[in-house]
Structure 1
Amino acid sequence: METLTEKTSGKREARKEERRLAILEVAKRSFLENGYSATSMSAISAELGGSKGTLWNYFPSKEELFSAVLEQATTAYRQQLSDLLEPSADLWTTILTFCRSFIDKITSQDSVRLHRLIASEAARFPEVGEIFYRRAPEPTQRMLADFFAGQMAVGHMREADPQVAARALGCLCLGWLHQRVIWGIAEPTPETIEAEAQAAVDVFGHAYDIARSGAV
């Protein structure tokens, strides 16, 4: 049976987690709306209604807060990618499904705002680019490389450097549609996302000798 001390401790931890999530939500909105440089720990603390010291107890620096915001934003998606990248006899369809999901993600409103933030701030604040890369592109490339290494080992695709293959597929997805969305001259639609995914897997599949399926 749970003791009174354990119940009290559990409630205290739950309150701490609720507070942490509230901080991350306010910080995410501030970073996306105001940019990295214009976001201050003091302003976030004021919006939350607590002391600045409380905020610093959770996140000792703006860099750590920004990193935590990105970690929260990418954790669920990494799990989704992990579920998508399951070994399958129909590798073409698996990669097509990945491309659809990835292009949909990177052309979403929050992702576009984040990419613009990184591009505008990284020259003055190199840590912003470093944090973003370590929390978003790098883990995705690593997951893809591990997946491709397994597929190459069983002969489902041409043997090559799996890391290069992962980067190549990522670049194909970060292509025409994503650039136009970032530049503000196009809006993603199910049709344009599908066309971009089909084009990416077509080029990648031919480059790595992947058997084409009847996937649509």
Structure 2
Amino acid sequence: MRKKTEEKKEEIIKAAKEVFKEFGFEKASMSKISSKLGGSKATLYNYFSSKEELFFEVISIANAQESDFVHQIIDTKNETLDIHTQLYKFGKRFLNFVYSQKMVEIRRLTISQSEITNLGRITYKNRVLKSREILSKYLEKAIKFNKIKKTDTNIAAIHFFGLLESELMYPFLFQVDTNFSKKHMDEMAVRAIDIFILAYGV
């Protein structure tokens, strides 16, 4: 039964991906996805409560490899804890991922839809908070190894991400210029992490 359930979920995601690609997020609908799937909307809603939830799932799967690559450097199962090197690598990977062309487009769509749909809340809960939680756990381990000061690691994680995007956020929000080179973003990550280490390092 579980295998059939997973297979059906995969079918739904595949159909949704095709509909989103053809119509875009705004013009896509659960009706169009169920028609593409060849089933009822009731079946669709058994797996996903909304178009926004399904869209997030499609995007997450499409970007899973890049997201895993970003976060694996601060995997707490890693026995080594070279905090400087790991945070530098994480920061560089994070900026190059979230400010890639496709992610910039997805983030702008998410922001524009936040007032009229649940897409923003879904993304915040399942992407932003989970990423913050991973970093917070890493920082907890860093405290145990006396690599950073004892602190509220959730707040420290918020500060970390804030520093990382500090040179990019306003240009991104006002669509002034986000066409930064990898070298430029790497340099911004280094500056941000230097400040973080000055504030939280032992």
TM range (shorter): 0.7 to 0.9
SS of residue in 2 equivalent to 1:104: helix
Q: Which runs of 5+ in 1 are unaligned?
A: 1-8, 211-216
Query: 2 CA distance for matches of 1:186 and 1:79?
Result: 23
Amino acid in the other structure paired with 2:157 = A
1:43 is matched with which residue: 32, 43, 49?
32
Note closer, same or farther for the CA distance 1:78–1:185 as it changes in structure 2 (3 Å cut): closer
Query: 2 CA distance for matches of 1:28 and 1:192?
Result: 33
The question of 1:149 aligning with 2:140 is answered: yes
Query: 1 CA distance for matches of 2:153 and 2:165?
Result: 18
SS of residue in 1 equivalent to 2:14: helix
Name the larger-Rg structure: 1
Count of residues in Structure 1 that have an aligned counterpart in Structure 2: 197
The question of 1:130 aligning with 2:121 is answered: yes
Q: Which runs of 5+ in 2 are unaligned?
A: none
Q: Which moved more, 1:154-163 or 1:15-24?
A: 15-24
Query: 2 CA distance for matches of 1:88 and 1:179?
Result: 36
Partner residue in 1 for 2:163: 172
Q: Map 1:26-175; keep pairs closer than 5 Å.
A: 26=18, 28-29=20-21, 34-35=24-25, 37-46=26-35, 48=36, 50-53=38-41, 55-56=44-45, 58-73=47-62, 75-85=64-74, 86-125=78-117, 127-175=118-166
1:157-184 per-position Cα deviation (integer Å, ceiling 9, x unaligned):
1221111111111111222235424515
Partner residue in 1 for 2:179: 187
Contact 1:141 1:163 in 2 (8 A): yes
Q: % of aligned pairs identical? A: 23
Query: 2 CA distance for matches of 1:89 and 1:76?
Result: 23
SS of residue in 2 equivalent to 1:176: coil
Contact 2:96 2:185 in 1 (8 A): yes
TM-score, with length taken from structure 1 = 0.75
